[in-house]
Structure 1
Amino acid sequence: MIVFTILGWIVFGLIAGFIARAIVPGKDDIGILRTIILGCVGSVVGGLIFGLLTGGLRGFEPTGWIGSIIGAVLVLVVYNQVTGRKRNRA
């Protein structure tokens, strides 16, 4: 049963990561593994932020998905800033 839970989080992270990559402008060449990690970390960050704002943690509800995607976008933006990706060349 735990294997299906882990696989579920991997798929959830992949979907949230791909959506975040689609929202953030520019091209991302981070690969599928980093996309999964980005989505999973973003889900945790978004879940914690939304949990603090709404007074409770959300599971697989629309607010949980929205929080995960927003968290993944935030993580991707921070990742791009830290690694120097997508900087405009003047």
Structure 2
Amino acid sequence: MGFFGFLLLGLLAGAIAKLILPGKQAGGWVITLLLGVVGALLGGFLGSALFNAPLQDFFSIQTWLLAIAGSIIVLLIYGAIVKRRKS
């Protein structure tokens, strides 16, 4: 998968992760989409390291699930950090 395919995957995974998570998350859509790209990186790294998952195919359900799971993890961590700073 090329750079632009990965970028698109991360942006869409971030949007889906924001829809999945309940409540209002800190940050707007731009932050969420950027965190989605970071989450797709994290999901891809964990998927290849833990499950030896091939991530070359853009239309693979495995690639999408790993990217969305990584985005959810990153959004939860970001929300915890922002919430702690407000307290």
Task: Give the TM-score of the pair, scaled to structure 1.
Answer: 0.76
Q: Which runs of 5+ in 2 are unaligned?
A: none
CA contact (8 A) 2:17 2:72 kept: yes
Which residue identity lines up with residue 34 of structure 2 in the other structure?
I
Larger Rg: 1
Asked whether 1:84 is paired with 2:83, we answer yes
CA contact (8 A) 1:48 1:57 kept: no
CA contact (8 A) 2:26 2:82 kept: no
Question: 4+ residue stretches of structure 1 with deviation over 6 A?
Answer: none
Number of residue-to-residue matches in the alignment: 82
Which residue of 2 is the match for residue 25 of structure 1?
A: 22
Which residue identity lines up with residue 13 of structure 2 in the other structure?
A
Larger RCO, structure (CA 8 Å, separation 6 or more): 2
Task: Give the TM-score of the pair, scaled to structure 2.
Answer: 0.78
Query: CA RMSD of the aligned region, Å?
Result: 2.1
Q: Which runs of 5+ in 1 are unaligned?
A: 86-90
**Residues 58 and 9 (structure 1), Cα distance of their counterparts in 2 relative to 1, 3 Å cut:** closer
Which residue identity lines up with residue 24 of structure 1 in the other structure?
L
